[in-house]
């Protein structure tokens, strides 16, 4: 699954702090990592530093501090409407719940490696085909390629309800440099318009990695995502508290919509309701580290008769029995 959220320049400071401090402070989580050809050209590599990320989100060169092209600033139109300056985008890749559960009960780092590999594959495609900008020339709208993207990846292993939830936030700068050296705005229509395809690419690479390297079998694909064979639904449900919160909020909001409009919401209205429900039920993470949570996860699984070894045996047998 892939979700894309816009990051505005007016919130660049709080956004940089969120990714480099709040997300990575919990014990067991790892620092962010720079990636992308444009990041390399800006001298960014290895772990993400908060000051460097802030500079990128403010549209400045992290080395010199000079603006990269036009300064990012909100604009007020003649009618009084404020157009917010876009600093970047958060593209969040989420693993199937069954993978998160399997990792939680086994702590097998090979599962994390497969997730990282799949994220890199999707980002490689995005940089190859979706790092363009827009310029007007001779009355025509052109879409020249750029020299790549500036991206920072932040892998996380827990949800806001302290359930296992493997996902990666990818912060993508809205600034790109053309071959002639100009810094312009990223044309994000590819990222947003092909969001489902990019999420599907992540999912397909993930399935291939785990099937090829660990012999894991997969259930049928539903809405672009499949679950690991052998991980029972009851175990997935135990670790889906955050999803349950959102589902309950969506049900209530759909009921309110039907009461107001006298009809069910269409697919676009339902998508907006789901986004609103996710925001409304969003709470701060507890700050509990993975080390502390592993014991809790094992206790919750054992309460319904499952342990790490039994789950590995079930997944191994199901993968072995899956037709090739």
**What pLDDT sits at residue 273?**
67
**What is the model's pTM?**
0.85
User: Tokens 């993207």 map to which residue?
Assistant: 149
Three-state DSSP string of 95-155? CCHHHHHHHHHHCCHHHHHHHHHHHHHHHHHHHHHCCEECEEECCEEECCEECCCCEEEEE
Nearest residue to 173 via CA among 296, 6, 2, 1: 6
Q: What is the pLDDT of residues 110-144, one digit of tens each?
A: 999 999 999 999 999 999 999 999 877 777 777 87
User: Tokens 């589902």 map to which residue?
Assistant: 247
**C-alpha 234 chain-centroid distance:** 25
Contacts (Cβ under 8 Å, ≥6 apart) of 287: 25, 26
Look up residue 291 and give its two tokens.
């080390």
Helix or strand (DSSP H, E) at 264: none
Q: For 117, how many CA atoms within 13 A lie in the half-sphere containing its CB?
A: 14
Share of the chain above pLDDT 70, in %: 90
Backbone angles phi, psi at 225, to 5 degrees: -135, 145
Q: CA dist 314 to 79, 96, 106, Å?
A: 63, 17, 13
Lowest mean pLDDT among 4-18, 152-166, 173-187, 242-256: 242-256
Nearest residue to 178 via CA among 131, 149, 146: 146
User: Is 23:3 a contact under the CB 8 Å cutoff?
Assistant: no
Is pLDDT of 283 > 60? Answer: no
**Within a 10 A sphere around the Cβ of 298, how many other Cβ atoms?**
15
Measured distance between the N- and C-terminal CA atoms of the chain, rounded to whole angstroms = 25
User: Is 217:141 a contact under the CB 8 Å cutoff?
Assistant: no
Q: What is the pLDDT of residues 231-276, one digit of tens each?
A: 999 999 999 876 555 655 566 666 776 777 778 888 777 767 666 6
Q: What is the pLDDT of residues 183-234, one digit of tens each?
A: 999 999 999 999 999 999 999 999 999 999 999 999 999 988 999 999 999 9
Which ranges constitute the DSSP H helices of the chain?
A: 12-17, 37-41, 50-57, 97-106, 109-129, 189-193, 195-214, 233-238, 241-261, 267-280, 290-302, 308-321
**What pLDDT sits at residue 23?**
84
DSSP class of 7: E
DSSP class of 172: E
């Amino acid at each position: 699954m892939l979700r894309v959220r816009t990051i505005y320049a007016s919130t660049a400071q709080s956004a940089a702090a969120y990714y480099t401090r709040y997300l990575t402070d919990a014990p067991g989580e790892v620092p962010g990592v720079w990636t992308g050809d444009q990041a390399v050209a800006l001298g960014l590599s290895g772990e993400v530093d908060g000051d460097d990320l802030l500079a990128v989100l403010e549209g400045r060169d992290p080395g010199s501090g000079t603006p990269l092209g036009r300064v990012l600033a909100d604009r007020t139109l003649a009618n009084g409407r404020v157009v917010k300056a876009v600093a970047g985008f958060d593209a969040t890749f989420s693993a199937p719940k069954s993978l998160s559960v399997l990792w939680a009960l086994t702590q097998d780092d090979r599962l994390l490696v497969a997730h990282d590999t799949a994220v890199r594959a999707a980002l490689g495609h995005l940089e190859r085909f979706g790092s363009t900008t827009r310029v007007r020339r001779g009355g025509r709208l052109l879409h020249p390629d750029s020299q790549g993207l500036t991206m920072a990846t932040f892998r996380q292993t827990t949800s806001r309800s302290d359930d296992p939830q493997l996902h990666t936030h990818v912060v993508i700068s809205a600034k790109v440099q053309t071959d002639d050296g100009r810094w312009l705005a990223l044309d994000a229509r590819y990222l947003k318009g092909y969001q489902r395809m990019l999420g599907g690419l992540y999912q397909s690479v993930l399935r291939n990695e785990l099937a090829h390297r660990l012999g894991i079998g997969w259930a049928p694909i539903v809405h672009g995502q499949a679950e690991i064979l052998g991980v029972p639904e009851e175990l997935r449900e135990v670790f889906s508290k955050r999803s349950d919160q959102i589902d309950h909020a969506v049900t209530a909001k759909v009921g309110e919509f039907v009461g107001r409009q006298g009809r069910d919401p269409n697919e676009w209205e339902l998508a907006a309701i789901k986004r609103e429900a996710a925001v409304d039920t969003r709470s701060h993470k507890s700050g509990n580290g993975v080390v502390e949570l592993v014991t809790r996860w094992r206790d919750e699984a054992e309460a319904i008769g499952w342990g790490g070894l039994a789950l590995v045996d079930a997944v191994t047998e199901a993968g072995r029995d899956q037709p090739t």
